[in-house]
Amino acid sequence: MSEQRENGAFIQLRDIAKVYAMGKVDVAALSGVTLDVERGEYVAVMGPSGSGKTTLLNVLGGLDVPTSGKYLLESVDISKLPDKELARIRCHHFGFVFQSYNLFPEFNALENVMVPMMYAGVGATERRRRAAELLESLGMGPRMRHYPSQLSGGEQQRVAIARALANDPDVILADEPTGNLATQQGKEILGIFDDLNARGVTIVMVTHDEGVAAHAKRLVLLRDGRVESDERVP
């Protein structure tokens, strides 16, 4: 990243707006969001449907570019970077966990976890070694040769978390990570997030479930594309 550096938090959003053109109508998904995230934080983002939660997560992860405003990552403005550079930042700084797992059905668990490392230029032997190590650490060692269709929802989400960790990211971005899981499976996945955060991994998680949000140490409430409240959890 070659842009001019500024001092401040690890992630700084400054007056971020995101407007989508829906036919002849412009829809504002985010309207002037200002938010800091420090290294090691565990942040839950809540809000009613349509409040901008997923859009905020996509902007944070570089999956979506803000219409206006400034996004500083490690004090570097990345809000206007070209696609190629933004893709490199996504690959090395962020790991993504989705409600629907988003695993490749034609790849087994081990191969799914290897995919991000391929894009990062990691050699085949190291890719395989690290993928196996991550799956073992998440209790998926005996299942690493199984395909997504052969795994339960909780097992698929464990594979997705291993994949998110493959390139040792600074931040895990999770969008309703327990939304498709039974209660016990959800508790197990949240336990994994708790352990990761205890080891220093920064987590930003979108959820509609107050019980899930209670695992975080900070709660950000969005409404109509704006930050309505931002509080530390006791």
pLDDT digits (tens, 9 = 90+) for 15-62: 999 999 888 899 999 999 999 999 999 999 999 999 999 999 999 999
How many domains, the chain? 1
| Summary mean pLDDT of the chain | 93
The structure tokens 């829906």 sit at 22
Burial bucket for residue 49 (CB in 10 Å: 0-12, 13-18, 19+): exposed
**Inside any domain, residue 6:** no
Q: What is the pLDDT of residues 102-155, one digit of tens each?
A: 999 999 999 999 999 999 999 999 999 999 999 999 999 999 999 999 999 999
Q: Which domain, by its residues, includes 173?
A: 11-232
Tell me, yes or no, whether 68 lies in a domain. yes
Is 199 among the domain residues?
A: yes
Q: Is the pLDDT assigned to residue 2 strictly greater than 80?
A: no
Q: Is residue 225 part of a domain?
A: yes
Q: Could you tell me if 230 and 46 are in contact, meaning their C-beta atoms sit under 8 angstroms apart?
A: no
Over 60: is that where the pLDDT of 4 sits?
Answer: no
The backbone torsions φ and ψ at residue 16, rounded to the nearest 5 degrees and listed phi first, read -75, 130
Q: Is the pTM of this model over 0.95?
A: no
Nearest in space to 112 (alpha carbons), one of 162, 71, 69, 154: 162
3 within domain boundaries: no
Look at residue 4 and tell me if it is in a domain: no
The pLDDT value recorded for residue 5 is 45
Q: Which CATH number does the domain housing residue 57 bear?
A: 3.40.50.300
Domain assignment present for 183? yes
The answer to the question of residue 5 being in a domain is no
Give the whole-angstrom CA distance, residue 211 versus residue 214.
5
